[in-house]
Chain A
Amino acid sequence: MNAEATPILVIDDEPGIRGGCQRALEAEGYLVCAATDGPAGIEMCPRAGTFHLALVDLKMPGMGGMEVIARLRAIDPHLVIVVITAYATIDTAVEATKRGAYAYLPKPFTPDELLVPVRNGLERRSLALEAERLRGEREQRLLEVAYERSKCRTVINCMTDGVLVVNSDRQVVLRNAASGRIAGEWAGLRMPVRAEALDCPPLVEVIDEVLGADREPTFVTREISLGDGVFMACAGPVAEPGGMSMGAVVVLRDITALKKLETAKSMFVSMVSHEVRAPVAAIESNISLILEGYTKGDVGRERELLRRCMCRAGALRQMVSELMNLTAMDTGHFSLSRKRIDLRDVLAEAAESCSESAAAKRSEISLDGVADSPRAEVLGDRTALISVFANLIGNAVKYTPEEGHVRVTLQSDDCCVHVNVIDDGIGMKPEDCARCFGEFFRVRSRDTAGIPGTGLGLTLCHRLVQMHDGRIAVRSEAGKGSTFTVSLNAADNHGGESHERF
């Protein structure tokens, strides 16, 4: 059987007609199936497309031809139906056509007479199908275009960057929702408006640079201040396929936060450079005093100057390592190894590390009842917490005059362990309490003159405590002393024995 042969159904109760039609059509290469009555023919045609054309006899026993036509038409609207009948009248022809017949062929007919309506009908069918396919495609295309448009609009409106489209007449013809958030008054602008209506000369300048470019497409990227914000304006031409410029599109990205970060970073670099250069300058000055003979060979004086050089160099080295630690924390390269540890041991060790400097000032560090307090376990990094408390106790010793008292106490409640480091030293003013955890902050007064420090110790403490999900706070009164409190989650409240963080 030829798979590409056009299938034709013949329904006629007369074997002679069936045979004749079959022979004539098969000779032309059609694939022919024959049925002896209406129901048999309908059964052979279960769905649209089974047959392209049906020859139907009108006068058949049982189901009449008219009904067969109607049934076939219902199954397949594209089936070409040619009526064959020996009882041709105008009325039956009209009736058959009404029911969906394509042509009307009176019996008897020659093979050639049969082939004419068959060929014409099949051609009509393929044209109708083609037309339908095209119509479907077009509808699909229209749907897609509509969808693309709305998608495009949605995407542009959902962009967090502001978008402005300007035509070659310098009129703003389109702007997205985000642009309305850049400058409040833009939200009220009704398109199109002249570029000047944006009320931002630097932006108009950017637009004009793009629109004014002669041949080469010009792209402009520039920082623009708008209201309280800073924006990166990126503008380029909207070109026709031929290269003619139709206007410009400007994308405005809010870089306010980036600029703030940049400012903070550059401020930080300035501070670092000052904090590095100051001790180096002091060291150089002391050495030149010796080299240039200002000490007049006084060995004791020279030793004292050199001792100060050592001290400043040591502080500088410590500052560099503290800076490295802070940087490591910022970039996520600083890791804690948190284990179940007893704060009583941590505090004892931290206090021990400060005992020498306390002894030098005849000051006293007391761990008030710490050893007797119930176990105070936290999930912490032992080394990090020792450095936090050594820093706080060290500060307490430094900022307390000679023969001072530094007390360390330990309390716990339902969820937390609180460590207090209490001194009776010079204390701080309220405004200094608020900023003492900031980088490079140091109280500079006649009381603190000559006390060495990097201004980074409390910053590190703060960061390390934060990394332990804890809190650090200060209460202080100028002239009376300070109390630094570190609160950490008690280990019992944690599910796991230990875990890594950062």
Chain B
Amino acid sequence: MKPSNTVLLVDDDVDFAVAMRTVLESAGLRVFQAGDPGTALELASSQRPDLLITDLMMDGLDAGLEFIAQARTLPGLAHVPALLVTAVGTRRGYDLRPRDEKDLRAMGIQAFLEKPVPSTELVATVQRLLAERGNIRRSGE
């Protein structure tokens, strides 16, 4: 069996992160966990994960999106898929939830989930993104 996929998980809510990590590890994934974008960038650089899962509001309203953009400037991570997981569905009355592919592209993410995330939905989304990643790589390279 080929080495398992790796996921980098960034969330400043330790409890929520540990719960997600438990679910992901049960699904056979290797999980690197960070509590802030700075640590996460170091891990991204050293571990080159197959997928990023990040919280949105950390130190800054859009810290998660900024983290994704920065991570993609790292070598080998230009096309890494990203899943945004947040407790903020709306901000100032404006619905942040992407409605379609176009909205996702505009945010620079491949999927969006609102907290709390049912474990089955989390695993299904992660597996779908990892599978698509293979496709993206093949068509992109």
**A residues adjacent to B (C-beta < 8 A):** 263, 266-267, 270, 273-274, 277-286, 288-289, 292, 294, 308, 312, 443-446, 449-450
Instruction: Give the residues in chain B near A282, CB-CB below 8 Å.
Output: 13, 15-16, 19, 116
Q: Give the CA-CA distance A446 to B10 in the complex, in Å.
A: 11
**B residues adjacent to A (C-beta < 8 A):** 12-16, 19-20, 22-23, 26, 34-36, 38-39, 57-59, 63, 87-88, 90-93, 115-119
Judging by beta carbons under 8 Å apart, are A285 and B38 in contact? no
Give min CB distance, A166 to chain B, whole Å. Answer: 34
Give min CB distance, A452 to chain B, whole Å. Answer: 10
Given A277-B115, A278-B115, A444-B58, verify A294-B87 contact (CB < 8 Å).
Answer: no
Judging by beta carbons under 8 Å apart, are B58 and A281 in contact? no
Q: Which residue from chain B places its CB closest to the CB of A277 in the assembled complex?
A: B87
Q: Which residue from chain A places its CB closest to the CB of B59 in the assembled complex?
A: A444
Judging by beta carbons under 8 Å apart, are B19 and A285 in contact? yes
Judging by beta carbons under 8 Å apart, are B88 and A274 in contact? yes
Instruction: Give the residues in chain B near A281, CB-CB below 8 Å.
Output: 13, 16, 87, 115-116
Q: Give the CA-CA distance A446 to B17 in the complex, in Å.
A: 14
Q: Choose one: A283, A284, A294, A450; the contact of B23 (CB below 8 Å).
A: A294
Q: Give the CA-CA distance A430 to B46 in the complex, in Å.
A: 30
Give min CB distance, B49 to chain A, whole Å. Answer: 18
Judging by beta carbons under 8 Å apart, are B92 and A450 in contact? no
A263, A277, A281, A443 pick with most chain B CB within 10 angstroms = A281
Instruction: Give the residues in chain B near A283, CB-CB below 8 Å.
Output: 15
Give min CB distance, B95 to chain A, whole Å. Answer: 12
Q: Give the CA-CA distance A285 to B13 in the complex, in Å.
A: 12
Judging by beta carbons under 8 Å apart, are A288 and B16 in contact? no
Q: Which residue from chain B places its CB closest to the CB of A265 in the assembled complex?
A: B92
Instruction: Give the residues in chain A near B19, CB-CB below 8 Å.
Output: 282, 285-286, 288-289
Judging by beta carbons under 8 Å apart, are A294 and B90 in contact? no
Judging by beta carbons under 8 Å apart, are A308 and B23 in contact? no
Instruction: Give the residues in chain B near A284, CB-CB below 8 Å.
Output: 116
The 10 closest A-B pairs by CB, nearest first: A449-B35, A281-B115, A285-B19, A444-B59, A277-B87, A282-B15, A281-B116, A284-B116, A282-B16, A266-B92
A273, A274, A289 pick with most chain B CB within 10 angstroms = A274
Instruction: Give the residues in chain B near A286, CB-CB below 8 Å.
Output: 15, 19
Q: Which residue from chain A places its CB closest to the CB of B56 in the assembled complex?
A: A274
24 pairs, CB–CB < 8 Å, chain A vs chain B: A263-B92, A266-B93, A270-B88, A274-B87, A277-B87, A280-B116, A281-B16, A281-B87, A281-B116, A285-B115, A285-B116, A285-B117, A286-B19, A288-B116, A288-B118, A289-B23, A294-B119, A308-B15, A312-B15, A444-B12, A444-B36, A444-B59, A449-B12, A449-B14
